[in-house]
Amino acid sequence: MKSLYKVVDELNREFAEETRKFTLDGHLVGSIGEVVAAYAFNLRLLESSSAGHDAVLMPEDDGAVSDHSTPVQIKMTGGNRGVALYSSPKHLIVLQLADKEFRLVYNGPGAFVWNKCNREQKNGQRRISLSELRKLNEDAAATPKLTQVNEFPKLTT
């Protein structure tokens, strides 16, 4: 357990400027996914727990968020089942952490996924499986995708 707390402390120090809080719960996987996607797609992270979106793709490198910034929702899972959404994001990135490797599952319009999600659960979320997301990612090949500018970090040596 001490090792886990040490890792969490290191993550909190390393990403303090990214306004992400790494805690030993489901937020840990989500926060890791957000900083990994931000790095891979050159996104600017919004304040933690911003409604509906986690980051923006900046139209130009002036650093100012504007009406032309593309809002992005980022989801990551360490499992094999799927992810849940509360609303239809403008753009959606879904990552999976499997076999100590980050994998891109979906990169495309959020509405494309939202329209295929299961019905709303009691907690307000709508779930979708990873297999359905992969299929939608292929089906959405002609839709706008964010350009991946950096490789995903390697977790093995």
Residues 81-100: tens digit of each pLDDT: 999 999 999 999 999 988 88
CA distance 65 to 69: 6
Distances (CA, A) of 26 to 21, 22, 32, 42, 123: 11, 9, 10, 24, 16
pLDDT attached to residue 64? 52
Q: If DSSP codes are grouped into helix, strand and coil, which group holds residue 80?
A: coil
Q: State how far the alpha carbon of 31 is from the alpha carbons of 7, 21, 91, 144, 150, in Å.
A: 13, 7, 18, 25, 18
Please report, rounded to a whole number, the percentage of residues in the chain having pLDDT higher than 70. Answer: 90
- Supply the pLDDT for residue 124: 87
For residue 110, how many other CB atoms are within 10 A of its CB? 21
Q: Which residues contact 122 (CB under 8 A, 6 or more apart)?
A: none
Q: Is the pLDDT of residue 19 over 80?
A: no
> pLDDT value at position 96?
95
Question: Which is nearest to 33 in space by CA: 106, 95, 92?
Answer: 95
What confidence tens digit (pLDDT) does each residue in 91-131 have? 999 999 888 899 999 999 999 999 999 998 988 899 999 99
Q: Which domains does the chain have, with CATH numbers?
A: 2-139 (3.40.210)
